[in-house]
Structure 1
Amino acid sequence: MTRIRGPAQAPDPDFGFRKELPDVGAYRVLGLETSCDETAAAVVAASRDDCGLGGGQILAQALVSQLEEHRPYGGVVPEIAARSHLDHLDRLVTRALRDSGVALRDLDAIAVTGGPGLIGGVLVGVMTAKALAFAAERPFIAVNHLEAHALSVRLPGGVAFPYLLVLASGGHCQLLAVEGVGACRRLGTTIDDAAGEAFDKAAKMLGLGHPGGPAVERRARAGDPRRFALPRPLVGRPGCDLSFSGLKTALRQTVERLDGPPSEQDIDDLCAAYQSAIADCLADRARVAARLFAERHGAGHPLVVAGGVAANQHLRDRLQEVAVANAMTFAAPPLALCTDNAAMVAWTGIERLRLGLTDTLDFRPRPRWPLDPEAAPARGRGR
């Protein structure tokens, strides 16, 4: 992976980076990601034949992180994000193609996040991908950003359909039965805030900066999760829906009851209690979803966690316990594929290309794009 800003990072051998070119019988797809605050381009290759277990090779990836631009505001500013995508995307495409050794004319398709996301950024990516597809006379594939997260676990290989997915990120939080490409059945969703947003708001409240999830996880390692009693909204109730708004309120009230500003140990303990509460909520809802999933698909299928919050090790540990208790295997993408990235977009492009699922150049970017169009409308961020 090439990062244009920040310290250089070596390729992660755990998620399929290869410098050698695949054989001519492989699909080679360029993926673009501009849905939020990461600008990225990647080239991924995989066999034209689906073995059922996934498996691809990341030939190259270039990424610009916008963390420093948004940090002073405590969150992502859509206008700043869109301008940054516009400034960097062309250069990243050139870098990814050069590093992969694949010429534009040798690609099999151009895939891009078509939504959901911040519409300004999505527009930048979609228009760039359309121009490249038109110029190279290659298929254009609009990828649902949530499906890219859902399928990211299949890029390294070894995960077959169907599987139960806990999709947890800054903007979305859902439990889904992933039954195939383009076939996700929603079992539960947040009725208010997403788990990642809850982490971000807690970090801002405690003065830990942006992004919040990694900051809370770091401080939680030195904290006592039992010192502060925080609620577990909806735990033990029927269904698989989630709620985090009340948990954020409870954290604020707990901080206000302290004698003065929180000390460093207070912050560590608050982070540990808060992280534990979020993980308990997700684990409880996953237990309910696992029973519903087994009624339809039987036992022994994977329980998968994906999305930015899937990088949290405490959550991974809790969900692995749920998997074991329900006779399921457990899987999660490598950390580099949890946060927004172009490799998962290119991989989803390959999965769709195998099935002949391409799009026309009149595709319109979508700020909202439900994975399960048959599911009832949700009040929160679970759409």
Structure 2
Amino acid sequence: MQILGIESSCDETGVAIYRESAGITAHQLYSQVKLHGEYGGVVPELASRDHVRKTIPLIKAALSEAKCQPQDITAIAYTQGPGLIGALLVGATIAKSLGVAWNKPTIGIHHLEGHLLAPMLEENAPEYPFLALLVSGGHTMLVDVQALGAYQIIGESIDDAAGEAFDKTAKIMGLDYPGGPLLAKLAEQGDDSEKRFPRPMTDRPGLDFSFSGLKTFAANRIAAANVDGQEPSGQASANIARAFQEAVVDTLAIKCKRALKQTGRKRLVVAGGVSANLKLREQLAELMAQMGGEVFYPRHEYCTDNGAMIAYAGYCQYKSDKLDVGHEIKVYPRWPLSEAV
């Protein structure tokens, strides 16, 4: 069995092939970072056009990498949502068209389920049940995962996601797009002389997140460091970056600890773009060691949007007989994970 996976939810075109007996046999990824960098953020129309240009060549490259032909593909999985509607339509249209041309079934995949299952591609894969922290530019949520398709959201962001707060703060600091990873890199040069940043919503019960106020606090500290219209010094910027990152990481760790105690889980899965953050990985590893549990991550290339996670999720759905019916093209720009089962 071989599943072709297509990811096109935002600004990265990902194509991969998952083979039941061998795992991922092809992984192709094209990032639009340079395209959108000029504008300081993703331009949806440009993203859609670039997916049109890149998806078919990447599919051809993936087939060549996996040394297989279209007739060897069992089914085609694609990201059905959530995401940018134009970008989603490109991937869905191509998947459905190939399904007709190759006489193969298609499988619409929830983008967040793809991230959630990405650690399953590692040699040390977690067993069900587990607690999942999905943390990216668009989403921050805690999910109690009882089994494949059995997902209960027990906490989520009520405004900016953690990755979004990273990117917006980096933009205020004058860092290039995408700024989150650059801010994390700058934080490595900081010291602890900067004023302590708040850990939002940790002084009250509950598992929800809020990072909008933290972003505003950072903006005020950046403005305070701007003397006589001059940009903050390199060290001042690094100190602010460090204080901001520590606040985000501490907040995520505190909420994870609460959720682990509430659910009784001993396994923690961390996925999404921010899961690549080294400070977050270090702190959550310490937390799980203290709690006698274990933490699982996807490898770095599977943290951001990619076709491998869609191909694997497609394999899981195919095994569960969850296939698209008919040739109608449907995408869901807003699609709660709880409704994907």
TM bracket (short chain) = over 0.9
Aligned to 1:349: 314
Q: 2:92 aligns with which of 126, 146, 158?
A: 126
Q: 1:222 aligns with which of 189, 193, 202?
A: 189
Pairwise CA distance, 1:324:
2.1
Q: 1:89 aligns with which of 55, 66, 71?
A: 55
Q: 1:62 aligns with which of 24, 28, 33?
A: 28
Aligned to 2:121: 155
> What do the CA deviations read for 1:209-236 (whole angstroms, capped 9, x no partner)?
1112210111011111452321111013
Task: Flag the 1:85–1:237 CA change in 2: closer, same or farther, 3 A.
Answer: same
Q: 1:291 aligns with which of 261, 265, 268?
A: 261
Q: 2:296 aligns with which of 331, 335, 339?
A: 331
* SS of 1:249 mapped into structure 2: helix
Pairwise CA distance, 1:325:
2.7
Q: Given that residues 150 and 178 in structure 1 are in contact (C-alpha distance below 8 angstroms), is that contact kept between their aligned partners in structure 2?
A: no
Q: Given that residues 84 and 333 in structure 2 are in contact (C-alpha distance below 8 angstroms), is that contact kept between their aligned partners in structure 1?
A: yes
Determine if the alignment matches structure 1 residue 140 to structure 2 residue 114: no
In 2, Cα distance between equivalents of 1:138 and 1:73: 39
Pairwise CA distance, 1:315:
0.6
- Aligned letter for 2:5? G
In 1, Cα distance between equivalents of 2:339 and 2:49: 31
Pairwise CA distance, 1:98:
1.2
Aligned to 2:286: 321
Q: Given that residues 129 and 146 in structure 2 are in contact (C-alpha distance below 8 angstroms), is that contact kept between their aligned partners in structure 1?
A: yes
Q: Given that residues 222 and 237 in structure 2 are in contact (C-alpha distance below 8 angstroms), is that contact kept between their aligned partners in structure 1?
A: no
Q: Given that residues 229 and 273 in structure 1 are in contact (C-alpha distance below 8 angstroms), is that contact kept between their aligned partners in structure 2?
A: yes
1:12-51 alignment, distance < 5 Å: 27-47=1-21
Aligned to 1:248: 215
Determine if the alignment matches structure 1 residue 188 to structure 2 residue 162: no
Determine if the alignment matches structure 1 residue 279 to structure 2 residue 267: no
Determine if the alignment matches structure 1 residue 367 to structure 2 residue 341: no
Aligned to 1:358: 323
In 1, Cα distance between equivalents of 2:305 and 2:131: 21
Q: 1:239 aligns with which of 195, 200, 206?
A: 206
In 1, Cα distance between equivalents of 2:69 and 2:267: 37
In 1, Cα distance between equivalents of 2:313 and 2:60: 21
Pairwise CA distance, 1:32:
0.3
* SS of 1:113 mapped into structure 2: strand
CA RMSD of aligned residues (A): 1.3
Task: Flag the 1:252–1:329 CA change in 2: closer, same or farther, 3 A.
Answer: same
Q: Given that residues 176 and 188 in structure 1 are in contact (C-alpha distance below 8 angstroms), is that contact kept between their aligned partners in structure 2?
A: yes
- Aligned letter for 2:19? A
TM-score, scaled to structure 1: 0.85
* SS of 2:270 mapped into structure 1: strand
Q: Bigger shift: 149-158 or 269-278?
A: 149-158
Q: How many residues align?
A: 335
Aligned to 2:178: 211
In 2, Cα distance between equivalents of 1:57 and 1:149: 16
* SS of 2:289 mapped into structure 1: helix
> What do the CA deviations read for 1:146-175 (whole angstroms, capped 9, x no partner)?
000000010124211111111000001100
In 2, Cα distance between equivalents of 1:180 and 1:41: 26
* SS of 1:98 mapped into structure 2: helix
Q: 2:164 aligns with which of 177, 194, 197?
A: 197
Aligned to 1:101: 67
* SS of 1:63 mapped into structure 2: strand
In 2, Cα distance between equivalents of 1:282 and 1:358: 35
1:67-78 alignment, distance < 5 Å: 67-78=33-44
Q: Given that residues 181 and 352 in structure 1 are in contact (C-alpha distance below 8 angstroms), is that contact kept between their aligned partners in structure 2?
A: no
Q: Bigger shift: 331-340 or 154-163?
A: 154-163
Which aligned segments of 4 or more residues in structure 1 are displaced greater than 6 angstroms? none
1:166-185 alignment, distance < 5 Å: 166-185=133-152
Q: Bigger shift: 166-175 or 250-259?
A: 250-259
**Alignment identity in percent?**
42
In 2, Cα distance between equivalents of 1:144 and 1:328: 28
Aligned to 2:236: 266
> What do the CA deviations read for 1:227-279 (whole angstroms, capped 9, x no partner)?
23211110132110000000010011111112242111111111111110000
Q: Given that residues 164 and 178 in structure 1 are in contact (C-alpha distance below 8 angstroms), is that contact kept between their aligned partners in structure 2?
A: yes
Q: Given that residues 62 and 95 in structure 1 are in contact (C-alpha distance below 8 angstroms), is that contact kept between their aligned partners in structure 2?
A: yes
- Structure 1 gap ranges (5+): 1-26, 48-55, 375-383
* SS of 1:209 mapped into structure 2: coil
- Structure 2 gap ranges (5+): none
